[in-house]
Amino acid sequence: MLRSHWDNHGTLLRSWLTSRSNPLALFQVHNPQKGSNLTHIIRRRDAVALGLARYFTGKSCVNGHVSERLTHSRKCVGCHAFYYHRNPAQCIERHKLWRTRNKEKFNQTRKKRYASDVKYSTAIRAKNRAWRAARREEQNARISKWRRNNKAWSVAWRHNRRSAEGHFTGPDIIRIRKAQRGRCALCRCKLRGRGHVDHIKAIARGGTNWPRNIQLTCGPCNSRKGTTDPITYAQRIGLLL
């Protein structure tokens, strides 16, 4: 309940940062005394224990903002948003520098959000589809160039794919799609008649082409899984403990 409450206000804050209106007027809805739904008083120590990024005391800051505070720095969100509104270029550069210095931490945070936030994951997939569609010819040319420069690897990959034990047919794929109810085997998004044929245990790890080793996934899931061990990958995305 508290976590979803804070997520909603994070979305509200982002809409403030992109607004061209007066930020001081926007902060009025952030005041519980003027109709805001910020009614959950929580101490910083409790927010830290719950793993929340923000907490709310109900008291105003030195600049008069009755708003949430950042757990890690105790800074007022209202002051932070006002500074961002006045210095957007400087803040964006600072965020880019932080992401560069903390790339692994940033990627882990994005992966967790992608796995837990359906709206975020849907938006990312739509963005990736649009990016690939706009650069389809460029991507195809890059793949062809890589194959020409890495002929030995390409030949070995095709040989392993052909020489793997077993085979599957079109009816097998139809049966697997029905068994999965038309959804990705990993993230459960709707495939809508499409999807990638993925080997549960990668051929590079000794997997076979028998139907029992085949599943249908969406493109992003298949790319992220790669040749990772299926149990290890399931644990990574939270399907197994």
The answer to whether residues 175 and 86 belong to one domain is no
Give 40 or 116, the one with higher predicted confidence. Answer: 116
Q: Give the model's pLDDT for residue 30.
A: 41
The two three-digit tokens of residue 180, written as one number: 């999965």
CB contact at 8 A, 70 and 52: no
Whether residue 208 lies inside any domain: the answer is yes
Whether residue 129 lies inside any domain: the answer is no
Percent of the chain topping pLDDT 70 = 80
Whether residue 84 lies inside any domain: the answer is yes
The answer to whether residues 171 and 92 belong to one domain is no
Residue-wise pLDDT tens digits, 92-113? 898 899 999 999 989 988 888 8
Whether residue 196 lies inside any domain: the answer is yes
Give which of 57, 52, 84 is closest to 71, Cα–Cα: 52
Q: Which of 82, 101, 120 is the last residue of a domain?
A: 101
pTM over the 0.75 mark: no
Whether residue 112 lies inside any domain: the answer is no
Q: Give the model's pLDDT for residue 97.
A: 92
Whether residue 154 lies inside any domain: the answer is no
DSSP secondary structure letters along 106-167: HHHHHHHHHHH-HHHHHHHHHHHHHHHHHTHHHHHHHHHHHHHHTHHHHHHHHHHHHHSS--
Q: Which of 64, 85, 101 is the last residue of a domain?
A: 101
Whether residue 56 lies inside any domain: the answer is yes
Q: Give the model's pLDDT for residue 185.
A: 92
**Host domain of residue 43:** 2-101
Whether residue 11 lies inside any domain: the answer is yes
Q: Which of 49, 73, 101 is the last residue of a domain?
A: 101
Average pLDDT over all residues of the chain: 80
For residues 19 and 34, give the distance between their C-alpha atoms in angstroms, rounded to a whole number. Answer: 21
Q: Give the model's pLDDT for residue 178.
A: 92
Residue 150's pLDDT band (boundaries 50, 70, 90)? confident
Give 190 or 154, the one with higher predicted confidence. Answer: 190
CATH of the domain at 187: 1.10.30.50
Q: Average of pLDDT values for 176-190?
A: 91
Q: Give the model's pLDDT for residue 156.
A: 66
| Tally of structural domains, the chain | 2
- Which has the minimum average pLDDT: 8-17, 61-70, 85-94, 165-174? 8-17
pLDDT at 34 over 80: no
